[in-house]
Structure 1
Amino acid sequence: MKFSSKEDVQAPIATVFGLLSDFEVYERSAIRRGAEVQRVGEHDVPRVGQTWEASFTLRGKERRTQVELVQYTPPTEMFFESKSDGLITTLELELVALSTNRTRISVTFEIKPLTLPARLFVQSMKLAKTNLSNRFKQRVAEYARDIEDRVSRMA
Structure 2
Amino acid sequence: MQVTATEDVAAPIDHVFAELTAFDALERQALRRGIDVRRNFRTAMPNIGEGWEAQFRFRGKERSAKIELEQYVAPQVLQFSGKSGGLETNTHIELVPLSPNRTRVNLVFKMAPKTLSARLLVQSFKLARSSINKRFKKRMSQYARDIESKVAKIA
Aligned counterparts of 2:93 and 2:21: Cα–Cα separation in 1: 10
Q: Cα RMSD (Å) of the superposition?
A: 1.0
Aligned counterparts of 1:9 and 1:66: Cα–Cα separation in 2: 29
Task: Say whether 1:82 aligns with 2:82.
Answer: yes
Alignment of 1:18-97 (within 5 A): 18-97=18-97
Give the residue type in structure 1 aligned to 2:33.
R
**Residue aligned with 1:67, SS:** strand
Native 8 Å contact 1:21 1:46 kept in 2: no
Q: Which runs of no fewer than 5 residues in structure 1 stay unpaired?
A: none
**Residue aligned with 2:34, SS:** coil
Shift of 1:46: 4.2
Aligned counterparts of 2:96 and 2:62: Cα–Cα separation in 1: 37
User: Deviation digits for residues 31-83 of structure 1, max 9, x if unmatched?
Assistant: 11111110013122343223100100011100000000100000000000000
Give the residue type in structure 2 aligned to 1:26.
L
Aligned counterparts of 1:77 and 1:46: Cα–Cα separation in 2: 14
Aligned counterparts of 1:142 and 1:25: Cα–Cα separation in 2: 16
Native 8 Å contact 1:52 1:66 kept in 2: yes
Structure 1 counterpart of 2:117: 117
User: Deviation digits for residues 74-108 of structure 1, max 9, x if unmatched?
Assistant: 00000000001100011111000001111000111
Give the residue type in structure 2 aligned to 1:83.
K
- TM-score, normalised to structure 2, is 0.96
- TM-score, normalised to structure 1, is 0.96
Q: Among the aligned pairs, what percent are the same residue?
A: 48
Give the residue type in structure 2 aligned to 1:71.
Q
Pairs aligned (count): 155
